[in-house]
Amino acid sequence: MKAEEIEQKREHENFFTTSYSSLVNWARKSSLWPYPFGTACCAIEFMATVSSHYDLARFGSEVVRFSPKQSDVLMVLGTINDKMGPVLKQIYDQMAEPKWVISMGACATCGGFYRAYHVMQGIDEILPVDVYIPGCPPVPEAVLDAIIKLQQQVENDTRLSYERHPRQQRLKIPEVDATVHALERPPRALVRFLEEKQDVQGPIASLFKERFPDDLISMREFRGDLSISIKRETAKQVLRTLKTDPDFNFKMLLDVTAVDYLSERSARYDVVYHLLSLSNKHRVRIKVPVPAEDPTIDSMFDVWKSADWAEREAFDMFGIQFKGHPDLRRILTHSQFVGNPLRRDFPPGQRTLCTETVDLPVVERARKYAESMGLAQPQILNMGPQHPAMHGTFRLQAAVDGERIVDADTEIGFLHRCFEKMSETHMYWQVIPYTDRLNYMSAMMNGVAYAMSVEKMFGVEIPKRAQYIRVILSEFSRIADHLVCIGTNLVDLGAISNFWYSFRPREEIYDLIESCCGGRLTVSYVRIGGVANDVPADFITRARALLQSIPKYVDDLEKLNRQNRIFKMRTSGITAISAEDAIDWGFTGPTLRAAGVPYDVRKWFPNYDYDKFEFDIPVGESGDVFDRYLVRMEEIRQSLRIIKQALENLPEGPVQIDDRRISLPPKKGVYSNIEDLMNHFELIQDGIIPPIGEVYSYWEAANGELGFYLISNNTKRPYRLRVRGPCFYIFQAFSHMVKGGYLSDAVAALGSLNIVAGELEK
Partner 1 sequence: MIEYLISPEFLLMMAKIVGIFGGVMGSLAYLTWLERKVMARVQMRPGPTRVGPFGLLQPIADGLKFLFKEDIIPTQANKFLFILAPIVALIPALLSFSVIPFGPRLQVADLSVGLLFIFAITSLGVYGIVLGGWASNSKYPLMGAMRSSAQMISYELSLTLSVVGVLMIANTLSLGELVTAQQGTWFGFIPRWNIFLQPVAFVIYVVSAIAETNRLPFDLAESEQELVGGWHTEYSSMKFAMFMLAEYANMLTVSALATILFLGGWTGPAFGPDWLRMVLPTIWFVGKISVFIFFYVLLRSTLPRFRYDQLMKFSWKVLLPLALANILITSLIVAIS
The residues that touch partner 1, with contacts defined as CB under 8 A, are 23-24, 26-28, 30-31, 51-52, 55, 57-60, 62-63, 65-67, 69-70, 72, 94, 96-98, 160, 162, 379, 381-382, 387-389, 402-403, 490-497, 499-501, 504, 560-561, 564, 566-567, 569-570, 742-745, 747
Question: How far apart are CB 64 and partner 1 at their closest, in Å?
Answer: 9
Amino acid at 383: M
Name the residue nearer to partner 1 (CB basis): 382 or 607: 382
Q: Report the residue number, 156 or 263, with the smaller CB distance to partner 1.
A: 156
Q: Toward partner 1, which CB reaches closer, 296 or 379?
A: 379
Question: How remote is the C-alpha of 201 from its chain's centroid?
Answer: 37
Task: Using DSSP bridges, classify how beta strands 73-77 and 100-104 pair: parallel, antiparallel or unpaired.
Answer: parallel
Please state, in angstroms and rounded to a whole number, the distance separating the CA atoms of residues 597 and 90. 44
Reduced to 3 states (helix: H, G, I; strand: E, B; else coil), residue 200 is coil
CB-CB contact of 287 with 228 (8 Å): yes
Closest contact distance (angstroms) between CB of 104 and partner 1 is 20
CB of 494 to partner 1, least distance (A): 3
**CA-CA-CA-CA torsion for 134, 136, 139, 145, nearest 10 degrees?**
10
To the nearest whole angstrom, how small is the minimum distance from the Cβ of residue 733 to partner 1? 21
Is 430 or 564 the residue whose CB approaches partner 1 more closely?
564
Taking the complex as a whole, how short is the minimal distance between the CB of residue 69 and partner 1, in angstroms? 4
Which CB, 452 or 746, lies closer to partner 1?
Answer: 746
* Residue 591: strand, helix, or coil: helix
Residue 519: CB minimum distance to partner 1, A: 24
Angle subtended by helix axes 41-50 and 497-517, to nearest 10 = 110
CB of 572 to partner 1, least distance (A): 12
3-class state of residue 43 by DSSP: helix
A 10 A CB-CB count for 223 gives: 15
Q: Cβ of residue 80: shortest distance to partner 1, in angstroms?
A: 20
Least separation in angstroms between residue 58's CB and partner 1 is: 5
CA distances from residue 288 to 227, 229, 283, 296, 340 in whole angstroms, order as listed: 11, 6, 17, 11, 19
The DSSP-derived string for 134-157 is -SSSPPHHHHHHHHHHHHHHHHT-
CA–CA dist 292, 261 (Å, integer): 10
Residue 70's Cβ-side half-sphere holds a number of Cα atoms within 13 Å equal to: 6
Is the Cβ of residue 32 or residue 662 nearer to partner 1 in the bound state? 32
Task: State the virtual CA torsion across 303, 304, 309, 310 in degrees, nearest 10.
Answer: -90
Nearer to partner 1, 161 or 685 (CB): 161
In the complex with partner 1, which residue's Cβ is closer, 69 or 170? 69
Output 499 or 728, the one with its CB closest to partner 1: 499
Residue 124 Ramachandran class (φ > 0 left, ψ -120 to 50 alpha, else beta): alpha
What are the DSSP calls for 408-465, one per residue? EEEE--TT---HHHHHHTS-GGGHHHHHHTTSGGGHHHHHHHHHHHHHHHHT----HH
Cβ proximity to partner 1, 275 vs 483, nearer residue = 483
Instruction: Provide, rounded to whole angstroms, the least separation between the CB of residue 543 and partner 1.
Output: 23
